[in-house]
Structure 1
Amino acid sequence: MPFSDQVFLAPGGSRYKGNLHSHTTNSDGRLTPAESVAAFRAHGYDFLCLSEHDLYTDYSDAFDDEGFVILPGLEASAYLYADESESVRLRCHHMHGILGTDEMVGAAPRLFSHMERLEPIRCHGSWDGEAVAGELARRLAERGCVVTYNHPIWSRVEPDEFCGAEGYFALEIFNYDTVNESGTGYDVTYWDLMLRRGRRVLGFASDDNHNEGLFDDAFGGWVIVRAPELSRDAIVRALLAGDYYSSSGPELLSWGVEAGRVWVECSPCERVNLVAGGPVNAGGTVIAQAGTEGLTHAEFELRGGETYLRVECVDARGRTAWSNPAFADEA
């Protein structure tokens, strides 16, 4: 099915910058919640999820105002240990539960309370990783949360241990902390594997900041959400709808399809990639000419047979902005 004419991230409307993955002294971070909120606000962020390990926090009453919003949530865990001594972790699932829309909150049989702990799932020797991931997602969803899957390369999981699991809407495709810790923070390969298999999962970039001072782990990965207002409900709705882009530097202003061509508008970049599902050689790259200030517009002719499209804008420092995918059967 060919792609119809459409615009993604349409110009106009309000855009809000946020970090979905952050730790404080409530788990293994070094900043207090107040210090973390102050730091992100000072760097131009509009919303923040304090996603502590296995601990749900809701600081919205403390920090929300007309210019900043807290997304209550937690980073929940499941672990595969080598044996019952639990001295060696072989694999893990880390999944965010972020408090959902007003409708989800109203329909949930029970919500998490502030400072409530969710015990990790513990497995020994072997596990059905996909089933465990699905169970962890279910536990979060039944408490009114939307769910993401975090840093699979760092977590040492294989594709069959999480790619087919149900219950999460987005994959963490860029994790600034693990990029700088161990080079394990780029997960777009898993993302494309899932998209090629027909899994309609969104992507997001984040910090996973702990602010320990060992290396830079803050203000390096974020999402820019297009929403009608700055509120938890509006931000979460936009996230679920994919009305946002992810970035470690560049701006993705808008992109779309017109008359069988993909067009992209961005801040000056060294290259723009069209990543596409379909036959071999689907997609393409436009590279800025030497001596210019970079690309702010790129176009690609579709060949036919593409199953999904997404774009990447890469600046001269290698920093990237990622769109969410568009699918051929979506109007």
Structure 2
Amino acid sequence: GPHLLHIGCRDIVDPNPDRAQVVEEVMARDGLCIINHPNWQEDFSHWPHALIESLPPFHGIEIYNAIVRDQEGTSFATDRFDRLLSKGRRVWGYANDDTHWVESYGRAWNWVWAEKCTPEAIVESLKRGHCYGSTGVELTTLRTDGRKIRIESTNGSLCIASLDWGLEIGRYPGKAWEFDLEELYYQGRRTPSYIRFEVHGEGDQVAWTQPIHILGQA
């Protein structure tokens, strides 16, 4: 069946073509459960979207998978991310290199905020969305008090803000940004359920923040 990533399970999860059953078993064993490269292959649908929506709760999806750069389909899956979020699914976005060969190592990764530098603490932070995916852009500050958000980057040069269904509401040059969230929502001319940001740097370098969910919405 379509590929799943799981890390940190208490014991082995047996192969099963029933993806929903696998997801349930991974989650029951306290593992990290991620949908892999949904837009891989010639039909750009390694994961049919209806199948993803039918799954029981899981942690998130790969919004970028670097190995697909060398194969059919597209590495990017922010379209799937926005569709899930806009329908109320609380999922996180991850960027992975999916290394199969030495030369493809280090093309995408996740920066993680963890209490300790241990495998257990890192996996727990990934489960909680205390991370952001990157292909080279580093964020030094990502902070919100619920009304404003502050983002700073060492090597980013453009910040893009998006709401539900991928609605892009602004592109902002610079290396540091402070936004009034209510003003951003107004620019979208709708009541959003979340907002997320992409910070672009040189070439194909990007960082993707996790969504910020708006209280009282999905």
- The TM tier, using the shorter chain, reads 0.7 to 0.9
2:185 maps to 303
RMSD: 2.4
Alignment pair present for 1:325 and 2:211: yes
Q: CA distance change for structure 1 residues 326 and 164 in 2, over 3 Å: closer, same or farther? A: farther
Q: CA distance change for structure 1 residues 262 and 178 in 2, over 3 Å: closer, same or farther? A: same
Task: Give the residue type in structure 2 aligned to 1:322.
Answer: W
Note the 1:98-113 alignment, pairs <5 A.
98-100=7-9, 105=10, 111-112=11-12
2:170 maps to which of 284, 290, 298: 284
The residue matched to 1:174 in structure 2 has which SS?
strand
Distance (Å, rounded) in 2 between the aligned partners of 1:197 and 1:188: 14
**Structure 1: 5+ residue stretches without partners:** 1-77, 79-92, 106-110, 122-131, 288-294
Shift of 1:235: 1.0
1:95 maps to 4
The residue matched to 1:299 in structure 2 has which SS?
strand
1:161 maps to 51
Q: Relative contact order: is structure 1 or structure 2 higher (C-alpha 8 Å, sep ≥ 6)? A: 1
- Could you tell me whether the CA contact under 8 Å between 2:6 and 2:32 is conserved in 1? yes
Shift of 1:329: 1.7
Task: Give the residue type in structure 1 aligned to 2:66.
Answer: Y
Task: Give the residue type in structure 2 aligned to 1:254.
Answer: T
Give a deviation string over 1:271-318, Cα, whole Å, max 9, x none: 11112228x96632113xxxxxxx211233323423111111111212
1:8 maps to none
Give a deviation string over 1:222-274, Cα, whole Å, max 9, x none: 01111111112211221121111110000022223458443311123231111
Shift of 1:321: 0.5
In the superposition, the TM-score normalised over structure 1's length comes to 0.57
2:114 maps to 227
The residue matched to 2:47 in structure 1 has which SS?
coil
Shift of 1:178: 0.7
2:98 maps to which of 199, 208, 217: 208
2:200 maps to 314
Shift of 1:193: 0.8
Distance (Å, rounded) in 2 between the aligned partners of 1:99 and 1:211: 23
Distance (Å, rounded) in 1 between the aligned partners of 2:192 and 2:38: 26
More helix by share: 2
Alignment pair present for 1:150 and 2:36: yes
Q: CA distance change for structure 1 residues 160 and 199 in 2, over 3 Å: closer, same or farther? A: same
Distance (Å, rounded) in 2 between the aligned partners of 1:282 and 1:257: 20
The residue matched to 2:68 in structure 1 has which SS?
helix
1:184 maps to 74
Task: Give the residue type in structure 1 aligned to 2:37.
Answer: H
Task: Give the residue type in structure 1 aligned to 2:14.
Answer: L
Shift of 1:161: 1.5
Task: Give the residue type in structure 2 aligned to 1:140.
Answer: V
Larger radius of gyration: 1
Shift of 1:184: 2.0
- Could you tell me whether the CA contact under 8 Å between 1:170 and 1:202 is conserved in 2? yes
Q: CA distance change for structure 1 residues 307 and 141 in 2, over 3 Å: closer, same or farther? A: closer
The residue matched to 2:101 in structure 1 has which SS?
coil
Distance (Å, rounded) in 2 between the aligned partners of 1:257 and 1:152: 30
1:6 maps to none
**Structure 2: 5+ residue stretches without partners:** none
- Could you tell me whether the CA contact under 8 Å between 1:147 and 1:167 is conserved in 2? no
Percentage of matched positions with identical amino acids: 24
